[in-house]
């Protein structure tokens, strides 16, 4: 299947997960696993307090800035609400 743009793919994928509980559970397990791996990495590497250390690390690299994040496509900082 060929998609015209990214949004077409997102819609297709979300409908697939909505209609297929097994696919949804597979993706949920994958995301939970990625989160736990990241949490474990920061807990061991930076000495605990996952959220605080992760934010500090991302700020140091210029990915987030005082409650904002950088939109890579547009190169602009977007304030989180």
Per-chain mean pLDDT for the chain: 77
Do 28 and 53 belong together in one domain?
no
48 vs 61, which has greater pLDDT?
A: 61
Do 65 and 79 belong together in one domain?
yes
Phi-psi label, residue 3: left if phi above 0, alpha if psi -120 to 50, beta otherwise: beta
- For residue 81, what pLDDT is reported? 47
The rounded distance, in Å, linking the Cα atoms of 59 and 55 is 6
Do 40 and 54 belong together in one domain?
no
- For residue 49, what pLDDT is reported? 73
Whole-number percent of the chain with pLDDT over 70: 74
- pLDDT-derived band at 58, boundaries 50, 70, 90: confident
pLDDT tens readout for residues 12-22 = 988 888 899 89
Domain tally, the chain: 2
């Amino acid at each position: 299947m060929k998609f015209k743009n990214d949004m077409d793919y997102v819609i297709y994928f979300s409908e697939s997960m909505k209609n297929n509980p097994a696919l949804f559970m597979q993706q949920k397990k994958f995301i939970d696993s990625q989160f736990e791996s990241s949490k474990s990495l920061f807990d061991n590497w930076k000495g605990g307090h996952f959220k605080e250390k992760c934010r500090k690390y991302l700020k140091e690299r210029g990915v987030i800035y005082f409650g904002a994040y950088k939109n890579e496509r547009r190169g602009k900082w977007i304030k989180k609400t």
